[in-house]
């Protein structure tokens, strides 16, 4: 069996990766539509050696489509997801538009694949830092429930899109030539710099990105009991995020046991060479499917605390790969049955 698929936002950083993954994972495709804004009219993208024309998004574009992979920002998803669902497609949405909607499953296939079965047309792909943290923390949480998580993130430019990645390169080269860096997409120069994530701040002083880690992790893990706090920082790395994570359990969790568990957990690769100080690095996480985890150690400040460090490709597992895995899950579990839409 094969499926008719559309990528909304095909020309973006995540869209381009979606194309690559559908090809390399040999997703069973009957047809592939590439949708973007009017700006991309006339462009075409390569898929399996063929050029496919990019179409501007419209009502009609969603006709005869089984699955939409949407990665064109929250407002575009809000405009088009309902249209696509109405036309009979299931939308896997990478934006934050529907993630906290109680009727929309929020899925990391290694953690809560069963949640996908409850979809009513839309399945949300979680925030990138949240996905990476969930993949690494869930296997430990299953053995011994986590009470509290304290996270600090080091987030790459890719999270702000393809144009932000290009901007960091331009800024870097400007600085190397003695010119001032210009910031147009990002709020401040990122080359040779870093700054707190610039999503909107709430009354408590937390930015939206930090609150996504709090609220989305609880929804994915299916518990409101975990206390979570985070500080999210943008760093001049192109496409892999890093996270320093402190976990607190009710009783001690030995570093050796955590290491053994993570060594055989899906989607995780242990990277720990204590002799050479070789631990996860964004440069080595780039282009890889797994979340690299290392520096697992007892927290010397708390008897039930554990420290770990991770890196994961933001565009891949943080976005495109997770979305394709959800699509594979839908196909595998036969969850694409026509929706009961009353016309």
List residues binding ligand A2P (CB under 6 A).
9-15, 36-37, 39-40, 57, 72-73, 76, 161-163
Which residue is at the shortest CB distance from ligand A2P? Answer: 12
Residue 158: CB minimum distance to ligand A2P, A: 8
Helix (H) or strand (E) holding 75: helix 74-86
DSSP 318: I
Q: How far is the C-alpha of 139 from the C-alpha of 253, rounded, in Å?
A: 13
DSSP 141: H
Q: Which is nearer to ligand A2P, 307 or 313 (CB)?
A: 313
Q: Which is nearer to ligand A2P, 164 or 326 (CB)?
A: 164
Q: Which is nearer to ligand A2P, 46 or 260 (CB)?
A: 46
Strands (E), the chain: 3-8, 29-36, 44-47, 50-56, 67-70, 90-93, 122-124, 146-155, 195-196, 227-234, 240-249, 268-270, 291-298, 305-313
For helices 128-143 and 208-221, angle between their N-to-C axes, nearest 10 degrees:
40
Q: Which is nearer to ligand A2P, 89 or 292 (CB)?
A: 89
Residue 12: CB minimum distance to ligand A2P, A: 2
| Cβ(36)–Cβ(76) below 8 Å | no
Q: How far is the C-alpha of 116 from the C-alpha of 44, rounded, in Å?
A: 32
Residue 41: CB minimum distance to ligand A2P, A: 8
Residue 316: CB minimum distance to ligand A2P, A: 14
Residue 188: CB minimum distance to ligand A2P, A: 18
Q: Which is nearer to ligand A2P, 43 or 259 (CB)?
A: 43
Considering the candidates 128, 141, 232, 311, report the single residue annotated as catalytic: 128
| Cβ(210)–Cβ(232) below 8 Å | yes
Residues 6+ apart with CB under 8 A from 314: 128, 132, 155, 156, 158, 159, 239, 240, 241
Our answer to whether residue 311 is catalytic in this structure is no
Considering the candidates 119, 141, 197, 241, report the single residue annotated as catalytic: 241
Q: How far is the C-alpha of 167 from the C-alpha of 11, rounded, in Å?
A: 17
Q: Which is nearer to ligand A2P, 61 or 116 (CB)?
A: 61
Residues 6+ apart with CB under 8 A from 48: 23
Our answer to whether residue 302 is catalytic in this structure is no
Q: How far is the C-alpha of 118 from the C-alpha of 103, rounded, in Å?
A: 8
Residue 220: CB minimum distance to ligand A2P, A: 22
Q: Looking at the annotation, which residues are catalytic? A: 128, 241
């Amino acid at each position: 069996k094969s499926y008719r698929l559309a990528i909304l936002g095909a020309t973006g950083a995540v869209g381009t990766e979606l194309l690559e993954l559908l090809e390399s994972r040999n997703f069973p495709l009957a047809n592939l539509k590439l949708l973007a804004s009017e700006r991309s009219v006339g462009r075409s993208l390569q898929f399996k050696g063929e050029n496919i024309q990019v179409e501007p998004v419209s009502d009609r574009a969603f006709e005869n489509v089984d699955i939409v992979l949407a990665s064109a920002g929250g407002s575009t998803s809000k405009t088009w997801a309902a249209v696509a669902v109405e036309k009979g497609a299931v939308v896997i949405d990478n934006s934050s538009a529907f993630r906290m909607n109680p009727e929309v499953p929020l899925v990391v296939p290694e953690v809560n694949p069963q949640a996908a079965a409850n979809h009513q047309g839309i399945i949300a792909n979680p925030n990138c830092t949240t996905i990476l943290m969930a993949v690494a923390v869930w296997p430990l949480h299953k053995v011994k429930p986590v009470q509290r998580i304290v996270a600090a993130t080091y987030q790459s430019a890719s999270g702000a899109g393809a144009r932000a990645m290009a901007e960091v390169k331009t800024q870097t080269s400007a600085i190397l030539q003695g010119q001032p860096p210009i910031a147009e997409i990002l709020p401040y120069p990122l080359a040779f710099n870093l700054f707190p994530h610039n999503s909107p701040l709430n009354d408590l002083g937390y930015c939206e990105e930090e609150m996504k880690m709090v609220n989305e992790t609880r929804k994915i893990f299916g518990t409101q009991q975990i206390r979570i706090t985070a500080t999210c920082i943008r760093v001049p790395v192109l496409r892999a995020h890093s996270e320093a994570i402190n976990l607190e359990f009710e009783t001690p969790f030995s570093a050796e046991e955590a290491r053994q568990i993570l060594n055989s957990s899906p989607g995780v690769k242990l990277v720990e060479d204590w002799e050479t100080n070789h631990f996860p690095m964004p440069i080595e996480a780039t282009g890889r499917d797994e979340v690299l985890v290392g520096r697992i150690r007892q927290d010397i400040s708390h008897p039930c605390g554990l420290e770990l460090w991770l890196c994961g490709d933001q565009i891949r597992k943080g976005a495109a790969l997770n979305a394709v895995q959800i699509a594979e899950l839908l196909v595998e579990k036969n969850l694409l049955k026509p929706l009961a839409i009353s016309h």
